[in-house]
Structures are given as C-alpha cells and as structure tokens.
Amino acid sequence: MAAAVALPDPGRFAYLKAKDVARLAEAYRFSEAAHAGQTRQSGDPYISHPLAVAEILAGWHLDGQTLMAALLHDVTEDTKVTKDEISDTFGRPVAELVDGVSKLDRIEFQSAEDAQAENFRKMLLAMARDVRVILIKLADRLHNMRTLGAVAPAKRRRVARETMEIYAPIANRLGLNTLYHELQELAFSHLYPLRYKVLAKATAAARGNRREMIGRTLAAVKRKLTESGIPATVQGREKHVYSTYRKMIEKHLSFSEVHDIFGCRVVVSDVPSCYLALGALHALYKPIPGKFKDYIAIPKANGYQSIHTDLIGPHGVPLEIQIRTEQMHRLAESGVASHWMYKDETDKLSELQKQTHQWLQSLLEIQHQSGDPHEFLEHVKVDLFPDEVYVFTPKGKILSLPRGATAVDFAYAVHTDIGNRCVAAKVNGELVPLRAELRNGDRVEIITASHAKPNPGWLQYVRTGKARSTIRHFLKTMQYEESAGLGERLLEQALKSLKSSAAEVDDASWERVVRDSGARSKEELLADLGLGKRLPAVVARRLLKHADPAREDAGAGSVTIRGTEGMAVQLATCCRPIPGDAIVGSIKKGQGLVVHDSDCAASLRSRKNEPEQWIDVEWDPRTTRLFQAAIGVTVENQRGVLAKVASEIADAGSNIDSISMGEDRAVFTTMNFVLEVANRQHLARVMRALRRLPDVKKLSRIRE
C-alpha cells in the first residue's frame, strides 16, 4: 500500500517546496481512497488519470494548489466527496478550482448539447475568475485524448470533435502552442484515422527522401548566421500532419503539391539579432513575395512573437523560417503557463497576463448579455477563430480582430457605446459600408451619431462574439420595452370591452395579478401581452375581478398603429399594408403584433382557422414614416425604359427600395418594384405618374 501512495517520478515536483510536496502526497492519498475500486475503460486504476493530469501540470511548473486540484478534480463528480469536504481538508482555493473543472452531471438537462453548452459556460466563467481552472481542464483533456483509444468509437469521435472545436482553440488563445498542436493531432487521428495514417506515412516518406537536402539546408543556414556574427540555435521543424491536411483542404492541393512540410526555427539572443538574422537569410535564399509576417512588431492576441518568412530553398523547394528570441520561444511554447515556468521574465509576461485577463473579462461581459448557454457557446466559438487581422485606430493603437471582421466589429472592439451609435466608417480615409471586411494594416475611423442604435441586419455579418452578443442584448432590451408599450395598448382595448380602463385599476389589483401570473413585474406582464405570450382579455378580467361579464362589449374599439413601434409591431411582408389600407392584427407568440391587409389571403385563411388570435387595428392618422409597397410594371422592352420609370418614381416623391426583372424579355418585360411611400394616396400618385408613360402597358399593386 505504501508503494501505491508514493508519488512517482519525484523529480517532476522538485521545483515545489517540501511542505507543498507533503500536501500533494496527502491529496494523492485522499484521491486514491475516494476512487478506490474504480477503473478507467482501459482497465487501469482510475487514480492513474488524475496523477497523469498533475504530472502534465507539473511540467508547466504550476503551483501546489493547482496540482492538488488536479489530483482531486474528479472526486466530486465520480464519488460521494463534496466540495465542502475538499474545502475543509485542502482549503477553499483548491475546492474552487475543483468545482470550476467539475461537470454538472447532477443537473437534469434536455439534451447532451444543453449539458455541453452549460458545462462549457460554467468552466469559462470559473476560468475568468482563475485561469488555473482552464489549465487543469486542458491537461485533463490532453490525457483523455492520449488514452482515447480505449473508449467506444462514437464517443471517441464526439470527444475528438469537441477537442478540435473548443479545447484546441482555447489552448491556442492562451498561447499554449505545444499543447495546441498535440490536441489537434490527436483529435485529427481519432476523427479521421485513415486520412491521418495515410498522411503520416506520406510525411515520413517525404522526410526520408529529403533527409540529405534538409541536412544541407540547415548546415547552410547555420554557416550563414555564423559568418554574419549572429550567435543562434537552428532547429529543423517539420509541419504537423493536421497542418498539412488543413492546407490541402483549404487550397485544394494534393500531398505532392504541399512543398513546405519542412521548416526551420532560428533562436537568437535579442530583438535586434532577429532582424539581423532575417537580413542574412534573405541574402542566402530569395524570399517569396507576400510571405513575410512580423509578429514581433505586432504580436498575436495570445502574445506570440516571431518573424515568419518563406524562402526559396535548394532545388526550388519552399522553406519556412521562424526567427525569435529565447524568451519569445518560451512564450510561444508555453503561453500563459510561462507565468509559472519563468517567473523572472516579468515585462512581456505581465503584458500577456494583461491580454489574457482582458479576454477573460470579455467572456464575463458576453455571458451577462447572452444568458442562454447555447448562445454563449456560439459567441465564444467565434472569438476562438484562429486567423486574425491587425488594424489601427486613428490614434495608431493596434487592435486584433478575427479574419472577416467588419467595421462594426471594430467599433464594438473600441467601446460598446461606439458600436451602438456607429452610422458609418472610414477605412484608410475613404468611406466604406459598415459591412466592409477589414484587412491587415487598415486604419479605421468610426463615425457615430447620438440618435443611432444597433441594426438587426448587423447580425448577418459581424464576426466577434462581443459585437454579436451586445447587438442581441440591445435588441432584446429594445423589443422588451416596445412590447411592453404594445401590451399596454392591447390591455387598454381589452379593458374597454369590459367598459373599464387602466386608470380604474388600483395598485393592489395589479400586485395580485402580477404575483398570480408568475411575472416579476408589471412591465414583464405587459411585455408578455405584447409578445403574445398572454391573452389581454384574460388579464383584463383578472384585473377587474368583480366585473360583471355582461359589461363586455365586443365593439369597444381598435388598437391604433403608428408604424413606428419598432419590433413590437411587424408589417406582414406577404401583403405589405400601408396607411389607408383596411388592416387586421394577429397576436403571435414571441412575435408580438403582426399587421396584415384585411384582404390578404394568408390572413383570411388564418382568421378562419384561428379567430382568437386576431384583433381589430387601425392606422393612426398622424403617422409620418415611410412604408414599403410593391408594384408590377409591364413595359416595352427597349433601351432606357428603366431610367424613364425610375425618374417618374423619383419625381413623384418616392424611393426605390429594390427591383427585380421578369425572365421573359422578348417584347415586353415586367419590372417588380418595392417602393417607399407615405400612404395609399401617395402610392396612387406614383402609379398615376407611371401610367402617363407611353412605354408602360400594364401596372398593378402586388399584394402577395
């Protein structure tokens, strides 16, 4: 028994103080006793897993608390040990770390996807409080991936996909480069075992065929650096199998067409030597235009720094070279874990810690705005996208954004208020659409307006999690407020049918109805009415509990529509009603009030099948906004006819929102316009003007 208790390979924990090693041994004994009789699917004693996780973390020189939490990370999940017991025995910090890593298996979820999303949300929020949580989780995932061959194929693929989509990108975001590549390789080998075997075999064969050339290339690089008086360590670096596979997929190449499967890493003493080495190597081999990246001047978001250059090596074979300092090399391999491994390296590491902290804080902000675990997972996955573009603010500050990010993403990256109020953008001094994608080196300026607010259409093209979650949060809040306003008007109509009004309802009645309905406030109850989640007539009767049913009057009036209610009131796109049209309204759950033309075929069918959903509505005569109306114009197909029609529409005071052309254009063609008009009379003026054109043969309003 004593042999089983002793920690193997004590050299791994030699960096710890003696008292920490003693506490670690105590945690090991506690975990071994808790997991007694349990085995892994491979047949090994279960304690072998937490011990392996602790050893991985010891390789990163994590502190004693983290290693104890690693040894205990499964006890609350798989045994009867509680968080309080761990707290009493090993201290609250260790218990919090264990709790952050543990899954939520004891809570009932609707599906495996719900459980995954909620587990991920809980883990990232715990990580935002203490980054050691994610380091334990990543070490846990690494050992599970190394031993994944013992589990069933279906689970193997699920775990491998989760690793590829979530855990490997997190490792990359934290700068844990070695871990990132190992997780990718392991996940790829389990997701596509045959592809992995074929590519690994082809890579080994190519390495053998090029061994002599690779040796000569490395020797030439070392010789050139020595001649230039630059002390350096030169290492050969073979590309990972998954990197080769991804390049083949993205660029539609065969393996034989992927030439740069071999690279070279040059490690020098200081930053000036990096640029001196670059000059020397460019003199040795010709650089490939457009294949140079300076991550020293502009570091990646995860703190990574290096110079990357692609050269034409011997026999025309491309050669990728990375040039960095020793400190940059440590940071590139260990990322945020360098904080524990190399505590004497203060300046750059403190900058990395600051960047990591900012990212973790942004996760808390996204969580606050999202609420829903699936939505949170979606936003964070977007932020873990590995490719980046670097752009400049007007003051010269560099911002890192995902590839494909737009001016709106940039605005939200600067500040939430800038994003919410942006109306236009300038890139390199020229006005561009807000949806314009940004490129490396762009200088971006955002133009704001105090009255502006987020547009739902932005969600179609923003790329960052912060922008997406902030826009959704704003729209939800706005919809809530607008729905509450609509709900108030619907309730007023229902009260009129009972020959009463909202002014006659006392506060006690409101409090009773709000409490009985389960709503948190009067505003929430009104918003539910506006969103169609509750029936106004039922709420009205409850407010007037002593009202006589005989007081009901079905003709108590209509709800007045201005068209400016926002998302709470939607104008149906099937019939596009405008002021002057007879209209009806449908209350749909989650959508609020949808307004149709009273002759609309879709509304006629629904009113027959679901009459309880429909209410009387009418236009407010004071409405001032423009509305969309569709018309079909059949004209003689000749040169310049579109310009004539567009000119008449403009002269009649209308804008063209969109236009589509009919397919048959032999003699006559039909042009379908969506116009902006103030009301039915305005549309009639536009149509009269078009009828005066001799080229117009037929004209009608499109209702469906």
Tell which residue, 69, 64, 71, has the closest CA to residue 21.
Answer: 64
> What are the phi and psi torsion angles at 323 (to 5°)?
-120, 125
CA distance 652 to 646: 10
How far is C-alpha 194 from the chain's CA centre? 32
> What are the phi and psi torsion angles at 42 (to 5°)?
-75, -15
Examine the residue annotation and report whether 78 is marked as an active-site residue of this protein: yes
Q: In what order do the strands lie in the sheet with 444-448?
A: 430-432, 422-427, 444-448
Tell which residue, 383, 254, 401, 273, has the closest CA to residue 327.
Answer: 273
CA distance 23 to 338: 24
Is the C-alpha dihedral spanning 102, 105, 111, 114 positive or negative? negative
If you write DSSP's letter for every residue of 610-640 in order, what string do you get? -GGGEEEEEE-TT--S-EEEEEEEEEE--TT
The active-site residue out of 77, 294, 523, 618 is 77
The active-site residue out of 63, 78, 618, 695 is 78
Own/partner contacts of 184-189, CB < 8 Å, gap of 24 or more, are 184/240, 184/242, 184/243, 185/240, 185/241, 185/242, 186/145, 186/146, 186/148, 186/160, 187/145, 187/160, 187/161, 187/163, 187/242, 188/160, 188/164, 188/241, 188/242, 188/245, 189/241
Dig out the tokens for 139 from the structure.
């070490």
Q: Three-state SS for 261? A: coil
Q: How many DSSP H helices and E strands does the chain contain?
A: 29, 19
Dig out the tokens for 207 from the structure.
């390495």
CA distance 336 to 127: 13
Return the active site residues. Answer: 77-78
